[in-house]
Amino acid sequence: MVAALDRTGVVAALAQLLGQAGGAAGWVAGLGLGVLVNLVNNLPAGLHVNAWQFLQIGLVVMPLALFAAVVALYP
């Protein structure tokens, strides 16, 4: 999915828009995109959890993963 978006130029266009917006726009977009991608990719994968359990787990795991990713990018 990401490769298709990259080939169509959507990724470059979004990167340019976020670069122009500055400030917290990138953080908000990244957080929103992370939630959306997790829901689309993992919820229908047969994890044997309901939507509420998935959300509860995601609320704990996703901020930790985001923090680790940011720390890895900016040591």
**Does some domain include residue 51?**
yes
This model's pTM is above 0.75 = no
Q: Which one, of 24, 28, 25, 34, lies nearest residue 68 by Cα?
A: 34
| Any domain includes 37 | yes
Residue 15 lies in a domain: no
- Residue 53 falls inside a structural domain: yes
Q: What is the pLDDT of residue 44?
A: 60
Asked if the structure places residue 9 within a domain, the reply is no
Q: Closest Cα to residue 26, out of 35, 16, 40, 41?
A: 16
Containing domain of residue 58, as a range? 24-75
| More confidently predicted of 62 and 11 | 62
How many domains, the chain?
1
Residue 4 lies in a domain: no
Asked if the structure places residue 5 within a domain, the reply is no
Decide if 39 is inside a domain. Answer: yes
